[in-house]
Amino acid sequence: MNEILEKIKQYETIVIFRHMKPDPDALGSQGGLRAILRENFPEKKVYAVGFDEPTLSYLVKMDTAREDVPSEFLGIACDTANTPRMDGFELFQQATETLKIDHHPNNDAYGDVQWVEPARSSTSEMICDWAFQEKLRVSTTAARLLYAGIVGDTGRFLFPSTSAKTLALAAELATYDFDRAELGREMNAMELKVARLQGFIYESLEISAKGAARVFLTQEIMTRFQVTDAETSMIVSAPGVIREVKSWAIFVEQNDGHFRVRMRSKTVPIEPIARRHDGGGHALASGANAYSMEEAEEIWEELKANLENNS
Ligand SMILES: [Mn+2]
């Protein structure tokens, strides 16, 4: 953590990265760090790169001027567990030096300097803590983004990763002059078509005796509800409100026919299952891939067995 500012001071150009299919923490930590660096080092060129996710456009806009990036620059990756998931990895590879700031398990230990704390609620919390400790100026824009990232990754301060420190940092961010109520509305807002898909999920969820649950969102279903894969990320937590459900997997069919599997669990870790199937993430929130129906069935069997062996 102490080396981060050292490295930043050494470079005139800094490019900040984050993972593909961004969530509020990816964008909050990336955009928050960009705002902090621009505020404190106005002479430096600071860029945030990646796809502008339309469902999160209320948060932040990426920089597109990649041709402005000189041959010597510092690359910082926020909230990105592994390099295959990094948006803009080709550019990151060209960086003179690289930093990794993340709160996922450090299975892919990339980066010349790595600051990884899996016990943290969010990368936004880490950036916030770092900025305050280093006595950097935090702009209102930065505060809003970091707050959004914390709110997003803690499930509105409900997940067990929410510590007293998380709340204290969020309380500090809440002293800044941004419209928290409006941000909250944006983060909770759901399009009607997505709400209807959520209704479909509740209707078609299969639940095992021990509380494993699954649902398939095939291309046909996605077309019927006019919903994209990115839009399904908003409803991954939906099965969690059902008392009978302990762990769940949402199988989202991709254009190439394979399934992206979004897995969640209330208490029993599911991350090892995700790791066995080309994925990973957090103990209770992971993503995996199933390249055939047989593999999708294997994941389901493992999800059920996982609860039988751990309860
Ligand atoms: Mn995160």
Q: What is the 3-state secondary structure (H, E, C) of the chain?
A: CHHHHHHHHHCCEEEEEEECCCCHHHHHHHHHHHHHHHHHCCCCEEEECCCCCHHHCCCCCCCCCHHHCCCCCEEEEECCCCHHHEECHHHHHCCCEEEEEECCCCCCCCCCEEEECCCCCCHHHHHHHHHHHCCCCCCHHHHHHHHHHHHHHCCCCCCCCCCHHHHHHHHHHCCCCCCHHHHHHHHHCCCHHHHHHHHHHHHHCEECCCCEEEEEECHHHHHHHCCCHHHHHHHCCHHHHCCCCCEEEEEEECCCCCEEEEEEECCCCCHHHHHHCCCEECCCEEEEEECCHHHHHHHHHHHHHHHHHCC
Q: What is the pLDDT of residue 205?
A: 98
Please give the distance, rounded to the nearest whole angstrom, from the Cα atom of residue 262 to the centre of ligand 1.
Answer: 15
- Please tell me whether residues 208 and 66 are part of one structural domain: no
Please give the distance, rounded to the nearest whole angstrom, from the Cα atom of residue 127 to the centre of ligand 1.
Answer: 11
Please give the distance, rounded to the nearest whole angstrom, from the Cα atom of residue 112 to the centre of ligand 1.
Answer: 21
Q: What is the pLDDT of residue 2?
A: 87
- Please tell me whether residues 170 and 230 are part of one structural domain: no
Please give the distance, rounded to the nearest whole angstrom, from the Cα atom of residue 96 to the centre of ligand 1.
Answer: 25
Residue at which a domain ends, from 134, 160, 188: 188
- What mean pLDDT comes out for the span 222-250? 93
- Please tell me whether residues 285 and 301 are part of one structural domain: yes
Please give the distance, rounded to the nearest whole angstrom, from the Cα atom of residue 280 to the centre of ligand 1.
Answer: 13
Please give the distance, rounded to the nearest whole angstrom, from the Cα atom of residue 293 to the centre of ligand 1.
Answer: 29
Please give the distance, rounded to the nearest whole angstrom, from the Cα atom of residue 270 to the centre of ligand 1.
Answer: 17
- Please tell me whether residues 196 and 132 are part of one structural domain: no
Q: What is the pLDDT of residue 11?
A: 98
Please give the distance, rounded to the nearest whole angstrom, from the Cα atom of residue 122 to the centre of ligand 1.
Answer: 5
Residue at which a domain ends, from 134, 164, 188: 188
- What mean pLDDT comes out for the span 263-285? 94
Please give the distance, rounded to the nearest whole angstrom, from the Cα atom of residue 27 to the centre of ligand 1.
Answer: 9
Q: What is the pLDDT of residue 311?
A: 65
Q: What is the pLDDT of residue 65?
A: 67
Please give the distance, rounded to the nearest whole angstrom, from the Cα atom of residue 291 to the centre of ligand 1.
Answer: 26
Residue at which a domain ends, from 141, 163, 188: 188
Please give the distance, rounded to the nearest whole angstrom, from the Cα atom of residue 243 to the centre of ligand 1.
Answer: 26
Q: Please report, rounded to a whole number, the percentage of residues in the chain having pLDDT higher than 90.
A: 90
* Average pLDDT of the chain to the nearest whole number: 95
- What mean pLDDT comes out for the span 231-254? 94
Query: Which of the four pLDDT bands, split at 50, 70 and 90, describes residue 68?
Result: confident
- Please tell me whether residues 146 and 199 are part of one structural domain: no
Q: What is the pLDDT of residue 229?
A: 85
Please give the distance, rounded to the nearest whole angstrom, from the Cα atom of residue 41 to the centre of ligand 1.
Answer: 25
pLDDT digits (tens, 9 = 90+) for 50-67: 999 998 999 999 998 666
Does the structure show a pLDDT above 80 at 272? yes
Please give the distance, rounded to the nearest whole angstrom, from the Cα atom of residue 224 to the centre of ligand 1.
Answer: 31
- What mean pLDDT comes out for the span 148-158? 96
Owning domain of residue 301: 192-309
